[in-house]
Amino acid sequence: MAVYKVVLMGDPILKQKAKPVRKINDSIVRLLDNLRDTLIKYDGVGLAAPQIGVSKRVIVVDTDEEYYELINPEILEAEGEESAIEGCLSVPELNGQVIRNARVLVKGLDRQGQEISIDAEGVAARAFQHEIDHLDGILFVDRAEWVVKRE
């Protein structure tokens, strides 16, 4: 497939609410493949379609233990609280301390259009929240308690 350049903070697409996917077709499947290839190239944990310039509600998450693809993801349940340092491929020069839910139940569609639910904790829960924020035009720096320049 293709590796895309990651859109950086300051690009207006990162502050817009992404459009829902109405129909899963070849272009959406290609988008999933391109997100995966781009995520691998940049060695990230997650990537949302707006980060490669596409205003669609599509994300991929790779925790090393599990790889997820979600179309039109939603958080159905959230509980607990954890604070951790986050970074972002779209904000490569900064890290920040962000409070997120410790556990989330996420629902969405897979590439075949089947509804799936994922009960996630730890890194996966944090990554789903981070990527779904991207779909709503929210960057981690918008939620951060503090931000520092990466060394």
Give me the CATH number covering residue 109: 3.90.45.10
Active-site residue identified among 86, 131, 145, 151: 131
Q: Is 76 exposed, middle or buried (0-12, 13-18, 19+ CB in 10 A)?
A: exposed
Reading across the β-sheet that carries 146-149, which strands appear in turn? 82-86, 94-100, 146-149
Q: Which domain holds residue 47?
A: 12-149
Going through 14-138 in order, the beta strands assigned E by DSSP cover 46-48, 58-62, 67-79, 82-86, 94-100, 103-109, 115-121
Number of domains in the chain: 1
Domain annotation covers residue 4: no
Residue from 113, 23, 75, 13 nearest 4 by CA: 13
- Predicted confidence at residue 39, as pLDDT, reads 98
- Asked whether residue 6 is domain-assigned, the answer is no
CA distance 123 to 84: 10
Nearest to 59 by CA among 76, 80, 45: 45
Is 74 labeled as catalytic in the residue annotation?
no
For residue 7, being part of any structural domain is answered with no
Is 117 a domain residue? yes
> How far apart, in whole angstroms, are the C-alpha atoms of residue 117 and residue 102?
17
Q: Is 69 among the domain residues? A: yes
pLDDT at 49: 98
Over 70: is that where the pLDDT of 123 sits?
A: yes
pLDDT band at 38 (very low <50, low <70, confident <90, very high): very high
Tell whether 1 is covered by a domain: no
Please tell me the distance from the alpha carbon of residue 37 to that of residue 23, in angstroms, as a whole number: 22
Residue pLDDT, tens place only, 59-82: 999 998 999 999 999 999 999 999
> Could you tell me if residue 3 is inside a domain?
no
Predicted confidence at residue 1, as pLDDT, reads: 65
In a domain, 119, yes or no: yes
